[in-house]
């Protein structure tokens, strides 16, 4: 088992904590205060978006692109609690110590009770609402610019609309990460404001001596940038860009992933790697990634189902 040389890509317990710390103090904390803004455009057609950004793999904020969505015009936490208050969700699921199950109505009550300067913000991250509250989808109609999502050719229509809602309180943070399986990020802001810091996939942080944040900030390939998303805005980030998100106010956003056909071979290779590691060496996966193994198993099973792979032939 080799250790991942790039600290930013490590999934052990300590590395993501050290990376988050670097956003608060030291060279990275200084660099983010002057990071350039991601370009903002409005009124782009799907063709212009593809030619000027997607094919060139350039991040962009599409200002007001979904401003007419019913969700952007009408949603609030209370609105969602009224419509689907009895639905089960996992709150703070990205924090193993804080993760807990609740109904959506309870979650909204928790937010109301959790006020004051000392309160730790509560965040409902990655809620796959379409399995439990599919009626919400009508308020977030498919975007013309997302039609290229190749997942529908691989997995069928239902998987390509497998989007997540992110609901949280001011101050909530999603730590720096890359999305799995080489999908593009297409994030629509519905309520409130979010600050994003992004870095290019080539960004390196090695810790052979000591993690050198200054070198990372000065390296041209890092391309550190920022943007604030407001209701109706959509952020496009090409596959494998690192992103860290901070809620500037109470916020609701829709995470919609898109697989670009040019990333198809990498996408399949990554999924196969994960599946084969689980099939051939489950004990080693459990030993080396105890914190990830359940989610990896669940994803691999559902992927195998969608691809019609008969796992029973391989394992009892």
Most distant CA pair in the chain: distance in Å? 56
Least gap, CB of 200 to ligand AKG (angstroms): 16
Question: Is residue 245 a contact point for ligand AKG (CB under 6 A)?
Answer: yes
Q: Judged by CB under 6 A, which of 61, 165, 255, 275 binds ligand AKG?
A: 255
Dist CA 146 CA 8 (whole Å): 28
Q: Which residue is nearest to ligand AKG (CB)?
A: 255
How far CA 139 is from CA of 83, 197, 214, 254, in Å, comes to 12, 28, 44, 11
Dist CA 52 CA 26 (whole Å): 35
Q: Which is nearer to ligand AKG, 71 or 174 (CB)?
A: 174
Q: What are the start-end ranges of the E strands in the chain?
A: 40-41, 60-62, 88-91, 100-103, 123-127, 164-168, 173-177, 184-191, 194-199, 225-229, 234-237, 242-247, 251-258
Neighbours of 65 (CB within 10 A): 24
Question: Is residue 244 a contact point for ligand AKG (CB under 6 A)?
Answer: no
Q: Which is nearer to ligand AKG, 197 or 278 (CB)?
A: 197
Q: Which is nearer to ligand AKG, 98 or 280 (CB)?
A: 98
Question: Is residue 243 a contact point for ligand AKG (CB under 6 A)?
Answer: yes
Q: Judged by CB under 6 A, which of 8, 176, 185, 258 binds ligand AKG?
A: 185
Q: Judged by CB under 6 A, which of 49, 75, 166, 303 binds ligand AKG?
A: 166
Question: Is residue 174 a contact point for ligand AKG (CB under 6 A)?
Answer: yes
Contact of 151 with 159, CB cutoff 8 Å? yes
Q: Which is nearer to ligand AKG, 54 or 187 (CB)?
A: 187
Dist CA 201 CA 275 (whole Å): 24
Least gap, CB of 187 to ligand AKG (angstroms): 4
Stretch near ligand AKG under the rule CB under 6 A, chosen from 44-52, 66-74, 179-187, 299-307: 179-187
Dist CA 172 CA 180 (whole Å): 22
Question: Is residue 192 a contact point for ligand AKG (CB under 6 A)?
Answer: no
Residues that bind ligand AKG (CB under 6 A): 166, 174, 179, 185, 187, 194, 243, 245, 253, 255
């Amino acid at each position: 088992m080799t250790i991942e040389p790039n600290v930013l890509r490590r999934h052990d317990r300590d590395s993501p904590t050290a990376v988050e710390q670097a956003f608060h103090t030291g060279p990275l904390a200084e660099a983010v205060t002057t990071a350039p803004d991601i370009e903002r455009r409005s009124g782009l057609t799907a063709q212009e978006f593809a030619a000027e950004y997607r094919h060139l793999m350039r991040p962009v904020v599409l200002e007001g692109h979904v401003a007419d969505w019913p969700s952007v015009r009408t949603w609030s936490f209370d609105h969602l609690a009224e419509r689907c208050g009895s639905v089960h969700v996992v709150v703070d699921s990205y924090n193993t110590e804080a993760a807990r199950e609740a109904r959506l109505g309870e979650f909204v009550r928790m937010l109301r009770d959790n006020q004051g300067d000392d309160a730790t913000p509560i965040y409902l991250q990655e809620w796959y609402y379409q399995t439990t509250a599919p009626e919400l989808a009508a308020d977030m109609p498919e975007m013309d610019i997302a039609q290229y999502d190749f997942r529908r050719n691989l997995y069928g229509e239902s998987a390509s609309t497998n989007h997540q809602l992110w609901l949280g309180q001011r101050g909530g943070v999603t730590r720096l990460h890359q999305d799995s399986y080489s999908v593009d990020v297409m994030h629509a802001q519905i309520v409130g404001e979010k600050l994003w810091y992004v870095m290019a996939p080539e960004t390196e942080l090695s810790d052979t001596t000591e993690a050198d944040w200054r070198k990372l900030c000065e390296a041209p390939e890092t391309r550190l940038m920022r943007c604030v998303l407001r209701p109706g805005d959509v952020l496009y980030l090409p596959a494998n860009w690192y992103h860290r998100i901070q809620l500037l106010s109470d916020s609701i956003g829709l995470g919609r992933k898109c697989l670009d056909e040019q990333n198809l071979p990498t996408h399949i290779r990554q999924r196969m790697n994960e599946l084969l590691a689980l099939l051939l060496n489950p004990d080693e996966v459990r030993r080396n990634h105890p914190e990830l193994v359940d989610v990896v198993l669940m994803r691999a099973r559902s992927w195998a189902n969608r691809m019609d792979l008969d796992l029973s032939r391989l394992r009892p």
